[in-house]
Structure 1
Amino acid sequence: MMAGKSTLPAAIDPDDLALFQQAVSGVQPIADTGRIAPAVNTNPLTPKSFLQDERQALQDSLSDYIGWDDGIETGEELAYIRTGLRRDTLRKLRRGHWVLQAELDLHGMISVEARQAVAAFLADCCKRGKRCVRIIHGKGLGSKNKEPVLRTKIKHWLMQKDEVLAFCQARAVDGGSGAVVVLLKSS
């Protein structure tokens, strides 16, 4: 603003000015206490390094490399039970003892997308209290070599997740060798 210029717009209607002056005629200025109110930050910042660390931890926790000693594999069927659980838990899972409460379909996803989707799905299921879920990985008929690429990766990813108690190949009516049924810890 230039010195000597009025702060009022050039074309103020005199009736509007009179109405404004009448409305504020009884207003008293607030006494100055010397205090300055702090600005309220409604959007707290999250350090970029924290977000990068979280993404790296998620990626590391779902690596494709793990020893085969940690689970049970019978022929072509995928099966795993966490150490310390009773064997009949796996039998019950195979027979459909628990109701499937949620499912994730990985058809059309590449490994990186599938890994992220599985991690997010499991976290959401645990948060919502889902115990028995199905992950459809497909039979590999649409893959380059007609082999189930995600099937082996799913096994590795699930074995590394603490919330997974057991998993096995789905019953034929639930997807057979193209899907896996997972039993999760209760929340």
Structure 2
Amino acid sequence: MPPETDEDLFAEAMGRVQPLPEIDKITPDRRLPRGHQVAVRHRHRQPSGLMADGPAARRVEPWSLVADGISRERLKRLAAGDPSVACTFDLHGMTCDMALSALADGFARAVADDDVRVICIIHGRGLHSSDGKPVLKKAVYHWLTDGPFAGQVLAAIPRPGSGGGACLVLLRRTMA
């Protein structure tokens, strides 16, 4: 008997697989939240050689993101200005599409620069939104969590003194 090929082994293993009955299938809701649609529309390929692999920051409070291993003390130092803000992205007044596109371009430049460690993103508080809710702020935090540069974000906290209209983002150090 000839030796079995990978294709033969795969066919044998899959031979017992049966499709799920229609009643057991889960059909996803085709209408996603607006912020999610924006994030998907703006996914960019991550530039090779620039990105350090790491877990994305997770939400610990409504407007705070923290990666594993980042202490409360580190967050206090970040809020106090250590390290200082290297660049600021003012998205205030932009539409979600414009803001996330600008954010992606700015992040690409920031992570390529070894000197950039903290970014300030001015997203506004949502006071002028049609429904009075912070649409852009929500989209920015969603993008920081699930966007193309999520692995670069160690922490994101509201900027002290901004009234919730800006956040500080601590970036992961790039590996040389």
Same-fold status (TM-score > 0.5): yes
Q: Distance in 1 between matches of 2:40 and 2:172?
A: 21
Identity within the alignment, %: 32
Q: For structure 2, list consecutive stretches of 5 or more residues without a partner in the other structure.
A: 1-38, 45-56
Query: Is 1:151 aligned with 2:137?
Result: yes
User: Structure 1 regions of 5+ residues with no counterpart?
Assistant: 1-55, 62-68
Pick aligned residue for 1:136 from 102, 111, 122: 122
Indicate which of 160, 163, 166 corresponds to 1:176: 163
The superposition leaves residues 62-96 of structure 1 with CA deviations (integer Å, 9 ceiling, x where unpaired) of xxxxxxx93210xx6x1111123333222222222
Query: Partner amino acid for 2:168?
Result: V
Q: Aligned partners of 1:114, 1:136: CA distance in 2, in Å?
A: 10
Contact 1:167 1:180 in 2 (8 A): yes
Q: Which residue of 60, 73, 80 maps to 1:95?
A: 80
Q: CA deviation at 1:57?
A: 7.9
Question: What residue in structure 2 maps to residue 26 of structure 1?
Answer: none
Compare relative contact order (CA 8 Å, sep 6+) and give the higher one, 1 or 2: 2
The answer on whether the counterparts of 2:93 and 2:124 sit within 8 Å (CA) in structure 1 is: no
- Rounded Cα–Cα distance in structure 1 between residues aligned with 2:131 and 2:40: 31
Q: RMSD between aligned alpha carbons?
A: 2.5
Deviations 1:123-168 (Å, cap 9, x if unpaired)? Answer: 1111122101100000112221222111111111112311111110
- Structure ID, larger Rg: 1
* CA distance in 1: counterparts of 2:41 and 2:131, whole angstroms: 29
Match of 1:111 in 2: 96
Aligned position for 1:164: 153
TM-score, normalized by length of structure 2? 0.61
Q: Alignment length, in residue pairs?
A: 121
